[in-house]
Chains A and B, each alone.
Chain A
């Protein structure tokens, strides 16, 4: 039975529940928008990293380099799309 619940994954789950609880504090306590967003950016990206490395085993095969390159590239495209749109359409430069 024990082998079905490896410590690494159980800890990953506990850690992601913890990050969710921390993220939820921005709703339950009175906090400024800037501080709240800082907490959310922090918890969201850490949690995404936990999923990729602990649960998706991104770094275990010989294609590790290609996998991380393609994910970093996708994240770059995502951030450029989101912040580029905000820059031109909302923040008004």
Chain B
């Protein structure tokens, strides 16, 4: 294995570099996936049938909490990668754990919000609007949930093996995934919630 020491650890072999490029291409496919969900949502948004619409169920406090949690977690994982590049494994693990705790907080608020929706008579089967809404939010929430377990596995590997080209590469790729979820949330925040509450 040829290791280039002039590059950050996660890029230091050709295989690692290509894995990062490959993950960017995967994120391109994820953008297409979320685009289909947004397209469906925008078509269905006024098809509320006899159920409530977005302006009735969307609440500012839960939206702001979710946004702050995810935005901050995106910042802390960025700091984690910065610490990794400085070779500070311990600081990196701490930043990753903070990130995952914020992620769990986000999922908690989202579940609370879903329960509220159901209490207000908005379930998956209520209307075209509710089906598209739950599918879009649920797909994002499922990605965050998966990310929490993935991140946990990364933290355990860093603890066990330390910072090697391999673990650094895995951590960097995980950080790309996590930032991407924040990017998707920005669009949900703007064009599902705020557009509906305006």
Do chains A and B stick together as partners?
yes
B51-68 contacts to A, CB under 8 A, are: 60, 64, 67-68
Would A9 and B78 be within 8 Å (CB), given that A4-B83, A71-B28, A75-B31 are in contact? yes
Chain A at the B interface: mostly helix, strand, loop or mixed?
Answer: helix
6 contacts between A and B (CB under 8 A): A4-B86, A4-B88, A16-B71, A16-B74, A52-B179, A52-B183
Residues of A within 8 A of B (CB): 3-6, 9, 12-13, 16-17, 20, 23-24, 26-27, 31, 33, 36-37, 40-41, 43-44, 47-48, 51-52, 54-56, 58, 61-63, 66-67, 70-71, 73-75, 77-79, 81-82, 84-86, 89-90
Would A55 and B74 be within 8 Å (CB), given that A20-B67, A81-B36, A89-B43 are in contact? yes
Would A74 and B179 be within 8 Å (CB), given that A40-B190, A61-B17, A86-B43 are in contact? no
Q: Number of B interface residues at 8 Å Cβ cutoff, please give it.
A: 50
Check if B43 sits within 8 Å of A74, measured CB to CB: no
Return the contact of A78 from the options B32, B88, B175, B197 (Cβ within 8 A): B32
Would A85 and B189 be within 8 Å (CB), given that A24-B194, A61-B11, A74-B27 are in contact? no
Check if A63 sits within 8 Å of B20, measured CB to CB: yes
Check if B86 sits within 8 Å of A17, measured CB to CB: no
Check if A44 sits within 8 Å of B31, measured CB to CB: no
Check if B39 sits within 8 Å of A86, measured CB to CB: yes
Check if B198 sits within 8 Å of A47, measured CB to CB: no
Check if A81 sits within 8 Å of B17, measured CB to CB: no
Would A63 and B21 be within 8 Å (CB), given that A52-B183, A86-B39, A89-B43 are in contact? yes
* B143 close to chain A: CB less than 8 A: no
Q: How far is the CB of A52 from chain B (nearest CB, A)?
A: 7
Chain A residues near B29: list those with CB within 8 A: 74
Q: How far is the CB of B41 from chain A (nearest CB, A)?
A: 9
Q: How far is the CB of A58 from chain B (nearest CB, A)?
A: 8
* B82 close to chain A: CB less than 8 A: yes
Check if A67 sits within 8 Å of B24, measured CB to CB: yes
Residues of B within 8 A of A (CB): 11, 17, 20-21, 24-25, 27-29, 31-32, 34-36, 38-40, 42-43, 60, 64, 67-68, 71-72, 74-75, 77-79, 82-83, 86, 88, 91, 175-176, 179-180, 182-183, 186-187, 189-191, 194-195, 197-198
Check if A51 sits within 8 Å of B198, measured CB to CB: no
Q: How far is the CB of A73 from chain B (nearest CB, A)?
A: 6
Check if A9 sits within 8 Å of B195, measured CB to CB: no
Return the contact of A43 from the options B17, B42, B190, B195 (Cβ within 8 A): B190
